[in-house]
Chain A
Amino acid sequence: GAVVSQHPSRVICKSGTSVKIECRSLDFQATTMFWYRQFPKQSLMLMATSNEGSKATYEQGVEKDKFLINHASLTLSTLTVTSAHPEDSSFYICSAPTSGGTYNEQFFGPGTRLTVL
């Protein structure tokens, strides 16, 4: 199947700093990518849809100024957590669909665990 990578896999930062997470589709192009957040023992919550060449679409309750998304190319989307605080500590996962239409199989990255001290 298609491969999606994320970098870094784990990051620890001080409160107030910004952290950038990269999501790459390695063997296919993705005009759309999705960013999810997952708290311990909970499900994935969709944060935003990253669109190549246009602004990201954020889900209700997600602060767009805090979670900056840039879809720089057909294989790369970045999520920047600005001025991170301990409550932003979470597991961040990206995904990318490989085809359009009603067939919606998506491939997920391995996730990035963010710990804000």
Chain B
Amino acid sequence: SQQGEEDPQALSIQEGENATMNCSYKTSINNLQWYRQNSGRGLVHLILIRSNEREKHSGRLRVTLDTSKKSSSLLITASRAADTASYFCATDDGQGAQKLVFGQGTRLTINP
């Protein structure tokens, strides 16, 4: 079953603008991850944030986590056409199992 709800489901912005995607989840977690998927391809791991962290940066990516609200956000700054992809958040089940539960995803389109 799907744990996460992501919004927006689709986002279209101009190149150079910032893109923000949000993810909510239902159960307690140990960590939350963000993945990118280009059309018809496998997933690429972007960033992992642990439950005791509030913010994490990696290049043009900024991830926040609010465990009290059970939500996370992914910010991509200075977007590029190559950032066009679907973005998914994924959480563990909080009980030590390694399997991941994915959100519904956000389809991001960067217009040149």
Residues in A lying within 8 Å of B, measured CB to CB? 1, 6, 32, 34, 36, 41-46, 49, 60, 91, 93, 95, 97, 100, 102-111, 113
Contacts and interface: CB of A to CB of B under 8 A. Distances in A.
Interface SS, A side: strand
B41 A110 contact: yes
B60 to A, nearest CB: 19
B40 A103 contact: no
The 8 nearest A-B residue pairs measured at CB: A108-B43, A110-B42, A108-B42, A102-B30, A44-B102, A43-B102, A97-B98, A111-B42
B100 interface: yes
Contact of B99 (A41, A49, A93, A100): A49
A103 B47 CA distance: 12
A102 B96 contact: yes
Interface string B1-24: 110000000000000000000000
Given A108-B35, A109-B42, A110-B41, 9 more contacts: A34-B99, A42-B104, A46-B99, A102-B50, A102-B92, A104-B31, A106-B98, A108-B45, A110-B42
B101 interface: yes
A77 B96 CA distance: 22
A43 B104 contact: yes
A93 B92 contact: no
Interface string B30-41: 110101000011
7 contacts: A6-B42, A32-B98, A34-B98, A42-B104, A46-B100, A108-B43, A111-B40
